[in-house]
């Protein structure tokens, strides 16, 4: 009896798909079958022919009923999630910190759920890191959005009557998205500066040919993220960044930490001090924004600058982001499949650290703490096999 990977259609606004043809082939090599809802891959331009040897279902309900593991880009509808059953596995981007009600509803199904946002930030998990792969696309898109709106060329240009000076781009946040934004802006020929409160990012920023803005604030935290700044550090940071922001033609902000509201780094007064025609792209808009006055999904005028709050940036390039997403899920799922059957090794720190719910309860300590839920008891250390694989 082969384990079945189910692919339901994503939400209406989502263009990405969690499956592509190359991954279907690799799953077949593991002894797994793939069940896809009709139309689920259309917006990612993955045709039925390109997917290859898959089975088809007419509805999300049929996919859930016929699958042992469900791969998803985002959350299922409440009705579809309620149809999950004990022993079944759901994995993907599940917004684990959304609310206690959301987490408890998933737990109540008895299904084991893995929120890839919770993936431990360790070297062995890099091939599974959905936040990094999708963040890379987001950083790239932020620069394209800014370049399309900027009233200036990005590169230095020489023409018959003289020379055009290159645009100045400031990128705040030097994670995967920020570094991709820096690299993309450099490729377009801009003069680029980068900033992050984590001192170890300086070398990464400078390796891409950008100048590092040093505010004197250093706040390296756990798991590769920055810790929360004190009030005094926030004031120091803003004072030091004010000049760099004012000098920039384009400002791109990318600072976000899963489970927390995005930190407000750039004040309205700082944006108002920018030159007329300046462009601000706030990648953290969906999490509240790094820029005071950002509106998610909208473009607003602040002083002489335009502040753009884009949403679902990876969905703007669904062919490649779907490919990356599917390969991340494949890397995460592969250790759970042995001889075509589902077997979960709870002694694996990556698997255990990514689990959101199991056996009717929320099992991630960090999520439980943020949502005010009881602290979970330890997960079992022995492997758990699927009792009744789908026929």
Q: What angle do CA 88, 89, 91 make, to 5 degrees?
A: 155
99 is catalytic: no
Helix (H, G, I), strand (E, B) or coil at 82: helix
Q: Alpha-carbon distance 107 to 125, whole Å?
A: 25
Among residues 129, 196, 249, 282, which one is catalytic? Answer: 129
Q: Which of 126, 165, 214, 235 is catalytic?
A: 126
Distance (Å, whole) CA 233 – CA 71: 41
Q: How many residues does the chain have?
A: 391
Q: Which of 2, 10, 132, 134 is labelled catalytic?
A: 132
133 tagged catalytic: no
Residue 121: strand, helix, or coil? coil
- Residue 371 CA to residue 379 CA, distance in Å, equals 19
Q: Residues with Cβ < 8 Å from 27, sequence gap 6 or more? A: 5, 33, 34, 330
Asked about 247 being catalytic, the answer comes back as no
Q: How many Cα atoms sit within 13 Å of 116 on the Cβ side?
A: 30
Which residue among 22, 62, 121, 202 is the active-site one? 121
Active site residue 195: no
Helix %, strand %, coil % of the chain (to 5): 40, 20, 40
Q: Which of 97, 140, 195, 225 is labelled catalytic?
A: 225
Q: Is the CB of residue 276 less than 8 Å from the CB of residue 246?
A: no
User: Is 132 one of the annotated active-site residues of the chain?
Assistant: yes
Which residues are catalytically annotated? 121, 126, 129, 132, 225
């Amino acid at each position: 009896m082969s384990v079945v990977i189910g692919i339901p259609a994503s939400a209406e606004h989502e263009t990405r798909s969690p499956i592509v043809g190359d991954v279907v082939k690799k799953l077949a090599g593991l002894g797994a079958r793939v069940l896809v809802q009709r139309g689920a891959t259309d917006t990612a331009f993955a045709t039925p022919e390109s997917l290859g040897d898959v089975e088809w279902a007419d509805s999300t309900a049929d996919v859930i009923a016929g699958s042992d593991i469900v791969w998803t880009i985002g959350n299922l509808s409440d009705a579809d999630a309620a149809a999950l059953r004990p022993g079944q596995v759901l994995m993907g981007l599940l917004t684990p910190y959304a609310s206690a009600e959301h987490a408890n509803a998933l737990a109540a199904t008895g299904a084991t759920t893995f929120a890839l946002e919770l993936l431990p930030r360790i070297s062995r998990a890099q091939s599974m890191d959905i936040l990094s792969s999708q963040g890379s696309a987001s950083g790239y898109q932020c620069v394209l959005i800014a370049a399309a709106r900027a009233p200036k060329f990005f590169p230095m240009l020489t023409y018959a009557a003289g020379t055009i000076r290159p645009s100045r781009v400031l990128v705040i946040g030097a994670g995967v998205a920020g570094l991709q934004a820096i690299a993309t802006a450099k490729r377009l020929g801009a003069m680029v500066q980068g900033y992050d409160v984590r001192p170890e990012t300086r070398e990464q920023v400078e390796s891409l040919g950008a100048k590092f803005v040093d505010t004197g604030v250093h706040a390296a935290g756990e798991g590769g993220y920055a810790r929360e700044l004190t009030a005094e550090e926030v004031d120091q940071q803003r004072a030091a960044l004010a000049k760099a922001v004012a000098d920039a033609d384009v400002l791109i902000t990318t600072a976000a930490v899963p489970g927390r509201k995005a930190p407000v780094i750039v004040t309205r007064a700082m944006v108002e001090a920018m030159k007329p025609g300046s462009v601000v792209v706030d990648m953290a808009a969906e999490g509240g924004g790094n820029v005071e006055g950002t509106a998610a999904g909208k473009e607003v005028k602040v002083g002489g600058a335009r502040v753009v709050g884009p949403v679902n940036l990876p969905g703007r390039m669904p062919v490649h982001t779907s490919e990356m997403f599917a390969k991340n899920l494949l890397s995460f799922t592969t250790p759970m499949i042995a001889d075509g059957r589902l077997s979960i090794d709870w002694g694996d720190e990556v698997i255990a650290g990514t689990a959101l719910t199991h056996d009717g309860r929320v099992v991630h300590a960090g999520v439980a703490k943020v949502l005010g839920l009881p602290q979970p008891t330890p997960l079992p250390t022995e492997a758990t096999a699927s009792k009744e694989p789908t026929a």
